[in-house]
Amino acid sequence: MTQILLTGFEPFADWPVNSSWEAVRHLAARRGDLSAKRLPVDHELAAAAVRALIDDLHPEIVLLTGLADDPVPRLEQLGRAGPLPAHGGPPVRWGCWPWAAARDAVVAQGLPIRLSDDAGGFVCDTTYWAALGTDVPLVAFLHLPPPGPDWLPERGARVVEAVLAAAMGG
């Protein structure tokens, strides 16, 4: 069985609820084949947590999620080190995911999505960069819109599940 790690973030700033964690939690509650973990909103703590989870779980697929103040989900294609020490690594790392298949899978669900090469420069970006520095074969980052009447946890979970299905071959 394929080991899958999904992450979302804790609430932060003006967001008492983080749509990323709510979507991941919602999906994990109906699927037993996922490890779902909530990350802190701190560059170094989140990067260390995701690396530790990868070391402990040895997943073959890692889909990180975060909240972006954008009405359309964004599948991020690269991560930047930002304030994290690069330790001799490149300042930018490209994700590895079936990008077009993921986009098509979400659209087939009647949901919006776009591919992006700018994860925002905050904790989402650096956490993605940290995960891309591991030996996990498939790693991507998905930004979800803020919670609200248009983006309830179930709708976010549908996007996460479609993106994940593409990595699993359909």
Residue 76 to residues 14, 31, 48, 79, 98, Cα–Cα distance (Å): 23, 24, 20, 8, 12
> What are residue 113's phi and psi, to 5 degrees?
-165, 155
Q: Which CATH number covers residue 99?
A: 3.40.630.20
Q: How many domains does the chain have?
A: 1
- Tell me the pTM: 0.96
Range list of β-strands (E), 14-160: 34-39, 61-67, 74-76, 78-80, 92-94, 114-116, 138-144
The pLDDT tens digits along the chain (170 residues) read 789 999 999 999 888 999 999 999 999 999 989 999 999 999 999 999 999 999 999 999 999 999 999 999 999 999 998 888 766 678 899 999 999 999 999 999 999 999 999 888 899 999 999 999 999 999 999 999 999 999 999 999 999 999 999 999 87
Task: Please give the residue range of the domain that contains residue 162.
Answer: 4-167
